[in-house]
Structure 1
Amino acid sequence: MSDEGRPHDQAPAPASEASQTNTGRPHDQAPAPASEASHVPEQIGVRKGLFGARGSGDTSGYGRLVRPVLLPGSTPRPFGGYFDEVADGLGAALAESGVGFEVAVESVVVFRGEVTFGVRREFLVPVARALRDEPDLRFEMCLGVNGVHFPQDAGRELHAVYPLLSITHNRRIRLEVAVPDGDPHIPSLYDVYPTNDWHERETYDFFGIVFDGHPSLTRIEMPDDWPGHPQRKDYPLGGIPVEYKGAEIAPPDERRGYS
């Protein structure tokens, strides 16, 4: 039927029905979208202007633009796809060691077809070990650790994100641990995933997260006597004075703040 012959308020076919129509079968590997749409984002701040810059003039023409800074909120069950199987397997493994799933995992976020388990830092090592060793889970590889700095997330300013890969089951998940700026300590996963050695050193170098139990937690790219941690959003921008045929360009001594 043409567009003119169909009412404009007619609801489109559900995604699963459309998939069956176009391909003859549903996408059995795609996570179910229903739970993802039902979670409520968490607002951690407000951003003003086009880029959120403050401390200098806004030349973008969008100085009056105000928008919230949002993080994806927890997703209720069912998570969709294999995400529920991973959560159930992890819960069963933790229960055998006397730890409840809700005690160790503070949130499960399904966002853009990917799942992130928010883990309390004191349970990070047993959670990672269960994900690695349990036959139904078998996340043999940790692809490193990424630091993230959210200055607006009060009491949880520093986040460490661990992407995990199961070669056995061809699955990917993430673990995320959030700690306050005043107590940036997270247990090292070196004993569980030895390849995290240099990744933890780099995250310490650039974000200041201290990985307790690491065998040699020293800077890996910046000089040992370098002050501060350069990839934090509150780090001042520096430089080296450069001479240009008698003129000298001084380095910037302070970075604009972003809120």
Structure 2
Amino acid sequence: MTDQAVVEKLKAKFPSAVLDVKEFRGEVTVTVKAEDVLSICAYCKNDLGFTMLADLCGVDLLAMGGSGPRFQVVYNIYNMKAKQRLRLKAPVTESDPRIDTVSGVWGSANWLERECWDLMGISFNNHPDLRRILMPDDWVGHPLRKDYPVQGPGREPYQGREV
């Protein structure tokens, strides 16, 4: 199935959820509504053959100065039989940075979503074990956010810790 056919199937199945489609250097990116991401990911896996979640990450668009949502959750998925990649993006607001977990669709999402929460502060609804994975349990904040304080001894969040 071609990239165009995948996009057309997504548009037909989720007409109001597909917000944008971009192609750059042979890679297709489909931006979808956050509230539909679980259904879309399940459809991509079960009906379109994207059985592998290669990566999931959060993006902070604060420095971009746009008027849209501050964050995006990005899903890089792969159809091993067709050797085909697809990137899904879901915008997430700063006021309520949360989205449904896809750990029930792809088991690998479990740790990737924990990393995204730990470093970006994007919460995943119904995640089976959402807790810090890289930072210490007592860490304050999410260090990959663009507005996270400059780091170093004597500054937050290191203040009072031995370095």
Match of 1:104 in 2: 17
Match of 1:210 in 2: 123
- CA shift, 1:224, in A, is 1.5
1:226 to 2:139 alignment: yes
Contact 2:10–2:18, Cα closer than 8 Å, also in 1: no
Match of 1:237 in 2: 150
How far apart are the structure 2 equivalents of 1:126 and 1:228?
30
How far apart are the structure 1 equivalents of 2:131 and 2:87?
25
Contact 2:75–2:87, Cα closer than 8 Å, also in 1: yes
Q: Compute the RMSD of aligned alpha carbons.
A: 1.8
How far apart are the structure 2 equivalents of 1:88 and 1:155?
25
CA offsets, 1:105-159, max 9 Å, x none?
111111222111101011101111111111xx20010112111101123341011
Match of 1:84 in 2: 4
- CA shift, 1:88, in A, is 2.3
Q: Partner amino acid for 1:149?
A: D
Q: How many residues align?
A: 155
Stretches of structure 2 that go unaligned for 5 or more consecutive residues are: 158-163
1:163 to 2:64 alignment: no
How far apart are the structure 2 equivalents of 1:252 and 1:82?
52
Contact 1:154–1:180, Cα closer than 8 Å, also in 2: no
**SS at 2:113 equivalent:** helix
**SS at 1:160 equivalent:** strand
Contact 1:161–1:175, Cα closer than 8 Å, also in 2: yes
TM superposition score normalised by structure 1: 0.57
Structure 1 segments (4+ residues) deviating >3 Å = 251-254
Stretches of structure 1 that go unaligned for 5 or more consecutive residues are: 1-80, 95-100, 241-250, 255-259
- CA shift, 1:83, in A, is 1.8
How far apart are the structure 2 equivalents of 1:189 and 1:224?
24
1:118 to 2:39 alignment: no
Q: Pick the structure with greater CA Rg.
A: 1
CA offsets, 1:50-96, max 9 Å, x none?
xxxxxxxxxxxxxxxxxxxxxxxxxxxxxxx922111123344x2xx
Higher RCO, 1 or 2 (CA under 8 Å, sep at least 6)?
Answer: 2
**SS at 2:114 equivalent:** helix
Match of 1:75 in 2: none
